[in-house]
Amino acid sequence: MHDHSTHSPHHPNGALKIALFLNGGFAIIEFIGGILTNSTAILSDAIHDLGDAAAIGTAIYFEKISRKQRDKKYTYGYKRYSPLAALINTLILLVGSTVVLFQAVPRLLDPQPLNSSGMILLAILGLIFNGIAVVRLKKETSSVSKKAVLLHLLEDVLGWLAVLLGSIIIKLTGWTIVDPIMSLGITMFILFNVFKNLRSIFKIFMQSAPDGIDENEILRKIKKDPQVVGVHDVHLWTMDGSYHVATIHVVVRYGLSNDEQVSLKQNICKLMDDFDIDHVTIEVEFDTENCQKCD
């Protein structure tokens, strides 16, 4: 209960900054290329890469703040800056996707002329760029987050493969409607992830109980203790999706000794720790008192 230190590991910011520079730079190339080739599919991929760059950029900026220790004003620390950063990223993707949709949807009915050779060139550039990123990552030591990043990079590669294939089809057949169709596909994929992320961000800000933590299971284990007469007013929430907080009222028999109370609290803290709950507040009550604090 008295371990209030943060456990988040320190990220190597140097590697992130290089990734930001590469992703941001490439997104700009894509935007210019998308406008020059008149391709909404390329623009959709540009939005996607802009989102990646924003994610890395906010990770560098906000994660540093979110690791700051708590103080008198922010008594829980600055961990909520991490979901705040995620919220900003989803908003960037949402606005960008909307703009592209306004470009792409009318073209379904009225396809515009495209520079398909330029599109092929950009798609090959995209494949090379993302391929280098995959190879760079593969060289690094194994970790859980690396797997997620690798999966994301593979998505990027698949996106560019689709654009390459579509551009070749357009060049061979002249079916320029393939471009807005690809654009819609990529944008739908972006929006699918946006809403998935918004859902988990919303749950964090609404103080929902963290995913994967079963309150009933916790209560069942606490009530197993013969000293415990009752449990009520349980609150479970998460600061950022990984740092979880709980408060709980535990009713014990009147006259339970100090030592017994101390060991009871220690047991509950240990149990909460097994459930990955990082910060626990326990109020011990006697069965003779009337708890006024609960509603």
Let me know: does 167 contact 116? Beta carbons within 8 Å: yes
Looking at the Cβ atoms of 181 and 234, the one nearer to Zn ion is 234
Residues 186-225, mask of contacts with Zn ion (x by CB under 5 A): ----------------------------------------
Give the residue carrying structure tokens 């456990």.
7
By the rule CB under 5 A, 233 interacts with Zn ion? yes
Which residue has the closest beta carbon to Zn ion? Answer: 291
Looking at the Cβ atoms of 32 and 291, the one nearer to Zn ion is 291
By the rule CB under 5 A, 291 interacts with Zn ion? yes
Q: Quote the least distance from Cβ 125 to Zn ion, whole Å.
A: 54
Looking at the Cβ atoms of 172 and 294, the one nearer to Zn ion is 294
Residue type, 27: A
By the rule CB under 5 A, 244 interacts with Zn ion? no
Residues 249-278, mask of contacts with Zn ion (x by CB under 5 A): x-----------------------------
- Distance between CA 75 and CA 272 in Å, rounded? 21
- Distance between CA 204 and CA 210 in Å, rounded? 8
Residue type, 227: Q
Give the CA distances from residue 69 to residues 72, 78, 245, in Å, rounded to whole numbers and listed in that order: 10, 7, 16
* Total of residues contacting Zn ion (CB under 5 A): 5
Looking at the Cβ atoms of 139 and 293, the one nearer to Zn ion is 293
Angle at 284 between CA 281 and CA 288, to 5 degrees: 155
By the rule CB under 5 A, 3 interacts with Zn ion? no
Q: Exposed, middle or buried: residue 227 (CB in 10 Å: 0-12, 13-18, 19+)?
A: middle
Q: Tell which residue, 15, 20, 51, 46, has the closest CA to residue 125.
A: 46
Q: Quote the least distance from Cβ 47 to Zn ion, whole Å.
A: 43
Q: Which residues bind Zn ion (CB under 5 A)?
A: 2, 233, 249, 291, 294
